[in-house]
Structure 1
Amino acid sequence: GPVLQPQAPRERARMNQIVAMLDNYAYGPMVWDVYVQRVEPPEGQRPDEARIADGLEKARRVLTALSDLVGDRLWLASETPSLADFHAAPIFDLFQQAPDGAAMLAQFPSLFAWWETISARPSVVAALT
């Protein structure tokens, strides 16, 4: 299987940085504020539009930072898939299920291309279904 920990120190540091960014800045807004509110609001409740708007604003900031960090690489941290890619996949999967999330992701061409690539991998398809 693939080596999920890059060997090069700079790539390994970038992978760790991206995982930390996802945990601290992406998961809450992209999953709880956008996906849960838009796609699966608590039973009997309407989506909280203010929370969605705040989540989208925070998601835009983290997607901008991530896009700048990734540049035109196919994978997030290195030239091959790493833990960063597989950590990001479920967050992006939920985010893009919300129409507002999908529309925002489409505004980041490199991240959109990454999502199209990773979401087609058989292991990711199996994990996300």
Structure 2
Amino acid sequence: MPQITVHGPALSTYVRTTRMILEETNTPYELKPVDILSGEQNAPEYLAKHPFGKVPTLEVDGQYLYETCAIAEYLDAAVNNGGFTPDDLMTQARMRQIMAIVDSYLYGPAISTITIQRLIVPSQGGETDTAAVEAAIPKVQTALKAIEAIATCSPYLLGDTVTLADLYLLPVVFYLSNTPDWEAVISETPQLKTWWDTASQLPSFRQVLK
């Protein structure tokens, strides 16, 4: 069994995605926190692992791997025999399409804007930029509509078993569900709301929220 360390803050959506794969497969690992609020991700020691200063970085027997899409597919193959990747080629493509939508179109407005402005800024004594939030809501709605259009939500995104797409999307939607904008962003995608009600009960997901 390889020695696996996840470098990153426990509250990160992408750290949670990585940890869910490990939790789902009962794979031993160590979580080594990175304090992104104090800028630890930009320290030379961390940049030696991840030159772009993002989280997480996966360490496997002293080798470092970054970018969550690469980490997720590596772990699925290494510790789960590809169990989170559909056999059907089109369904595989849909899975990667959803992951790409999260990376390219959902994460920015959902996390970098709405979550930061609604949850982080007030917790640090600041005032929410409501104009920025209002501008981000339609972008989140567009991304969620795109995901719903290619998902089956029966009950998971791509069928009756969990895929990497579910593990990718869950942590992002979790933060949205804790903002006052939740009903607005989810109102036009009822199938995704039903998916969330089911998928959010996965034991691995509840575990990484602790």
Tell me which residue corresponds to 1:126: 207
Q: Which residue of 2 aligns with 1:73?
A: 154
Residue from 120, 136, 160 that aligns with 1:55 = 136
Provide the C-alpha distance between the structure 2 equivalents of 1:6 and 1:71, rounded to a whole number of angstroms: 13
C-alpha distance in 2, partners of 1:54/1:62? 14
Higher strand share: 2
Q: Which of residues 98, 104, 123 in structure 1 aligns to 2:179? A: 98
Cα distance in 1 between the residues matched to 2:201 and 2:148? 20
Looking at structure 2, the residues matched to 96 and 107 of structure 1 have their Cα atoms a distance apart, in angstroms, of: 14
- 1:101 Cα offset (Å): 2.3
**Greater RCO, 1 or 2 (C-alpha within 8 Å, sep 6+):** 1
2:100 corresponds to:
20
Cα shift at 1:4 = 0.3
Q: Which moved more, 1:63-72 or 1:15-24?
A: 63-72
- Work out which of the two has the higher radius of gyration on C-alpha atoms and give 1 or 2: 2
Give the C-alpha shift of residue 73 in structure 1: 3.2
Structure 2: segments with no counterpart, 5+ residues: 1-24, 26-79
The 2-side partners of 1:106 and 1:40 are apart by 24
Equivalent residues of 1:35, 1:98 under 8 A apart = yes
Deviates more, 1:69-78 or 1:16-25: 69-78
Q: Deviations over 1:52-95 (max 9, x none)?
A: 01111100111111111114532223432100000111101111
Equivalences, count? 129
The alignment-based identity, stated in percent, is: 30
Comparing 43-52 with 72-81, which one deviates more in the overlay? 72-81
Q: Does 1:7 align with 2:95?
A: no
Aligned-residue CA RMSD in angstroms?
A: 1.7
Change (3 A) 1:92 1:72: closer
Q: Which amino acid aligns with 1:67?
A: E
